[in-house]
C-alpha cells in the first residue's frame, strides 16, 4: 500500500522534492532511511549556507543600488524557497494525512464519467507540470551561460552573487566556485518548482472530489425516480420493508413510495457525509499551507519589486542581461498567478455544491427529503477561506491587488533613486 502511495501520480512532485532534501521519504530499510535523513540535512544546510553567503554579499555591496537589486533578485528567491521548504517540513504529518485521504478517495469511484473527470484533472496537472519543468530546463542553462560568458562584455561573474573571496582571474578557483553554485542553484530551482507543484496537485485532487460530489448530487433525481416494484419482486430483496402488509390495496404504489424515500434518504445522507469530509480536507489544507502562502506572497512581492526595478535600470543602460531578467520577472508573476488561480478554483467548486443541490428536482419530493437538500445548501454557504497567514485571502483578487501594490512600490523606489 505504501509503495503504491509513493508511486501515485500526484505523489511524484513530493518525490521530486525529496530528491533535493525538501521532503521526507521513508523506506523499509533503516540504513537507507538514515542516509536519506543525512542527505536531507546536507541539502538544508546548503540552502542556509547559500542564504548566508548572499546576505554577506548584499552587505558588501550595500552602497551600490545596481548591485543590491541584482543580489536581491536571487537572494530573495533562495530565502523564499528555503522558508517554504521549512514550513512544509514542519507540517509533514498534516500534509501526509491529507495526501493519504485523497489517494484513497481517488480510487473510490470507478464509473466511466468519473474516470473522464480523473483523466481531465490528471491531464491539467501534467500540462502545468510540463510548463514549469520546461521553463526551468530552458531558463536555467541560459542564466548559467550568460554568467559564464560574462567575460565577453565585462569582468567574470558567478551565476549568483555570493560572498566568495576568490580571484575570478584564477581559472581553477573560478570554475570550482562556478560548479558549486550550479549545484546549489539546481537544488534551489528544483525545490522552488516542486513546492508549487505539490500545492497544485493537492488542490486539483480536492477539485476532483468536489466535481464528483457535484455529479452525485445531480443524480439524486435519477435515484428517486428509478425505483420500481414489479409483481415478481423477490421477498429476499434488501429493500423489502419489514412487517409490511404486502396484501394491502395499492401495495405496489405504496411500496414504491417508501422505497424511493428510503433509498433517496440514504443517498442524501451519504452526500452530506461526503460534503463534511471534503470541508475537513479544505480545513486541513488551509492549516497546512497558510504559512506557506504567506511566505509566497511576501517573497513574491519583494521579487517582483526588486526584479522590476532591476529590469527598468537595465532598460536605461541597454544591458545585455535584460532578456533573461525580464523572463525571470515573467516567471515570478506566472508562479504567483497559478497559486491564486487554483485556490480560487477550489473555492468555486465548493460553492457549486449548493447550486447543484438547488438544481435538482427537490420540489417533487416530500418534506422529509427536502430537509436534506436544505442541509447541503446551508453547508455549501459556509465558504472556505484559503489564506496566507490567516489574514490574506488567496484568490485572483489578491493577485491583482498584489500587482497593483508592487507596481506602486516599484514606482516609489524608482522616484527615490532618481532624486
Distances in whole angstroms, Cα of residue 98 to Cα of each of 94, 203, 280, 309: 6, 11, 9, 40
What residues contact 409, with CB distance under 8 A and at least 6 apart?
Answer: 305
Its pTM stands at 0.86
- Length of the chain, please? 419
Q: Residue 204: its pLDDT value, please?
A: 94
Cell numbers 522552488 correspond to 192
pLDDT tens for 342-401 read 999 999 999 899 888 888 887 877 788 888 888 988 888 888 888 888 888 888 888 888
Q: Residue 127: its pLDDT value, please?
A: 94
Other Cβ atoms closer than 10 A to 5: 14
Q: Is the dihedral of CA 126, 87, 395, 79 positive or negative?
A: negative
CA–CA dist 290, 388 (Å, integer):
5
Pick the closest to residue 48 from 197, 187, 182 (CA basis): 187
CA–CA dist 155, 149 (Å, integer):
10
Cell numbers 541597454 correspond to 318
Pick the closest to residue 162 from 185, 139, 194 (CA basis): 185
Grid coordinates standing for 330? Answer: 515573467
pLDDT tens for 345-357 read 999 999 899 888 8
What residues contact 386, with CB distance under 8 A and at least 6 apart?
Answer: 282, 285, 286, 289, 290, 293, 343, 346, 347, 393, 394, 395
Grid coordinates standing for 73? Answer: 533578485
Pick the closest to residue 67 from 322, 419, 310, 388 (CA basis): 310
Distances in whole angstroms, Cα of residue 232 to Cα of each of 226, 229, 237, 243, 252: 17, 8, 11, 19, 11
pLDDT < 70 stretches in the chain: 1-4, 151-154, 224-257, 314-324, 416-419
What residues contact 170, with CB distance under 8 A and at least 6 apart?
Answer: none
Whether residue 295 contacts residue 335, with contact meaning beta carbons closer than 8 Å, is answered with no
Where in the chain are the domains? Answer: 2-136+185-418
Pick the closest to residue 328 from 118, 129, 223, 185 (CA basis): 185
Based on its alpha-carbon atoms, the radius of gyration of the chain, rounded to whole angstroms, reads 28
Amino acid at each position: 500500500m505504501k509503495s503504491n502511495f509513493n508511486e501515485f501520480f500526484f505523489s511524484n512532485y513530493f518525490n521530486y522534492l525529496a530528491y533535493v532534501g525538501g521532503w521526507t521519504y521513508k523506506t523499509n530499510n533503516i540504513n537507507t532511511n538514515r542516509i536519506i535523513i543525512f542527505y536531507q540535512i546536507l541539502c538544508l544546510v546548503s540552502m542556509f549556507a547559500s542564504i548566508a553567503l548572499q546576505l554577506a554579499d548584499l552587505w558588501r555591496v550595500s552602497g551600490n543600488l545596481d548591485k543590491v537589486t541584482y543580489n536581491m533578485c536571487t537572494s530573495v528567491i533562495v530565502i523564499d524557497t528555503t522558508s517554504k521548504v521549512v514550513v512544509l517540513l514542519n507540517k509533514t504529518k498534516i500534509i501526509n494525512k491529507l495526501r493519504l485521504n485523497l489517494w484513497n478517495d481517488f480510487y473510490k469511484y470507478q464509473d466511466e464519467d468519473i474516470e473522464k473527470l480523473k483523466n481531465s484533472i490528471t491531464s491539467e496537472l501534467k500540462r502545468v507540470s510540463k510548463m514549469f519543468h520546461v521553463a526551468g530546463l530552458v531558463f536555467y542553462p541560459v542564466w548559467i551561460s550568460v554568467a559564464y560568458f560574462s567575460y565577453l562584455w565585462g569582468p567574470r561573474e558567478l551565476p549568483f552573487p555570493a560572498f566568495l573571496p576568490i580571484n575570478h582571474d584564477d581559472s581553477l578557483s573560478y570554475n570550482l566556485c562556478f560548479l558549486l553554485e550550479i549545484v546549489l542553484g539546481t537544488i534551489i530551482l528544483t525545490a522552488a518548482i516542486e513546492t508549487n507543484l505539490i500545492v497544485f496537485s493537492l488542490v486539483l485532487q480536492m477539485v476532483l472530489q468536489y466535481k464528483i460530489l457535484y455529479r452525485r448530487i445531480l443524480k439524486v433525481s435519477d435515484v428517486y425516480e428509478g425505483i420500481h416494484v414489479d409483481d415478481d419482486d423477490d421477498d429476499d430483496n434488501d429493500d423489502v420493508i419489514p412487517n409490511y402488509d404486502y396484501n394491502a390495496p395499492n401495495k405496489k404504489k405504496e411500496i414504491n413510495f417508501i422505497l424511493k424515500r428510503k433509498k433517496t434518504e440514504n443517498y442524501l445522507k451519504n452526500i452530506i457525509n461526503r460534503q463534511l469530509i471534503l470541508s475537513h480536507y479544505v480545513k486541513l489544507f488551509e492549516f497546512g499551507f497558510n504559512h506557506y502562502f504567506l511566505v509566497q506572497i511576501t517573497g513574491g512581492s519583494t521579487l517582483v519589486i526588486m526584479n522590476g526595478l532591476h529590469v527598468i535600470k537595465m532598460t536605461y543602460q541597454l544591458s545585455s542581461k535584460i532578456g533573461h531578467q525580464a523572463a525571470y520577472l515573467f516567471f515570478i508573476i506566472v508562479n504567483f498567478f497559478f497559486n491564486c488561480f487554483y485556490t480560487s478554483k477550489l473555492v468555486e467548486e465548493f460553492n457549486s455544491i449548493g447550486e447543484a443541490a438547488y438544481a435538482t428536482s427537490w420540489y417533487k419530493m416530500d418534506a422529509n427529503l427536502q430537509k436534506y437538500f436544505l442541509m447541503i445548501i446551508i453547508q455549501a454557504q459556509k465558504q472556505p477561506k484559503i489564506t496566507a497567514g490567516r489574514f490574506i485571502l488567496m484568490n485572483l483578487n489578491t493577485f491583482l491587488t498584489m500587482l497593483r501594490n508592487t507596481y506602486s512600490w516599484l514606482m516609489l523606489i524608482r522616484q527615490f533613486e532618481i532624486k
